[in-house]
Amino acid sequence: MKVMSVILTTTLLGALWASAPLRADDLMIYPKGGQSPEQQEKDKFECYGWAKNESGFDPMAPPTATKAPPQKQAPRGGVLRGAARGAVIGEIVEGDHQTGAKAGAAIGGMRRADQKRKEAQAQQQWEQEQQQIYTEKRNRYNRAYSVCLEARDYSVN
């Protein structure tokens, strides 16, 4: 179960990294002061380091989750469990274990479906939170990177 959680987290974070709204690589950088290609590379590298330190975000590092994904709960209810309980209760109350089994199966199935729905909602909420956090950090880095390059006489879009 933990292995699946790690695989899912890694896959999600990889997707976040690949679909980042605007990466530093995507920025259009134009030297306004006639800087040489060597000077441009030097400035980009120095601004990368400064922006990384200023923002606390490293665009070259693989993304990491800020918190663990929601844990899946042990299955509760379910059709078979509900049928067994319903059969016992139906036999005791009405002397008809088949009717109780059918009702118990239905209730057990509904409980399990509700549990799965809640788990899916929690996973989706976690994914959205992680994407929002990643995007905010990335944008903070991009602003710092752009400011540094603009201070060195580059046009950045």
In tens, the pLDDT along 54-83 reads 999 999 998 888 878 887 766 655 555 655
Give the integer Cα–Cα distance in Å for 80 and 47: 62
Give the integer Cα–Cα distance in Å for 27 and 142: 9
Domain that holds residue 104: 2-156
| Residues written for the chain | 157
**Helix or strand or coil: residue 72?**
coil
For helices 37-55 and 97-151, angle between their N-to-C axes, nearest 10 degrees: 130
Per-residue pLDDT, 21: 45
Token pair 């987290």: residue: 9
Torsion angles phi and psi, residue 76, rounded to 5: -115, 150
Per-residue pLDDT, 20: 45
What total of structural domains would you count in the chain? Answer: 1
Q: With a threshold of 0.75, does the pTM exceed it?
A: no
Per-residue pLDDT, 150: 96
Low-confidence ranges of the chain (pLDDT < 70): 1-25, 73-106
- DSSP at 101: H
Cα-to-chain-centroid distance, residue 151: 35
For helices 2-18 and 97-151, angle between their N-to-C axes, nearest 10 degrees: 40
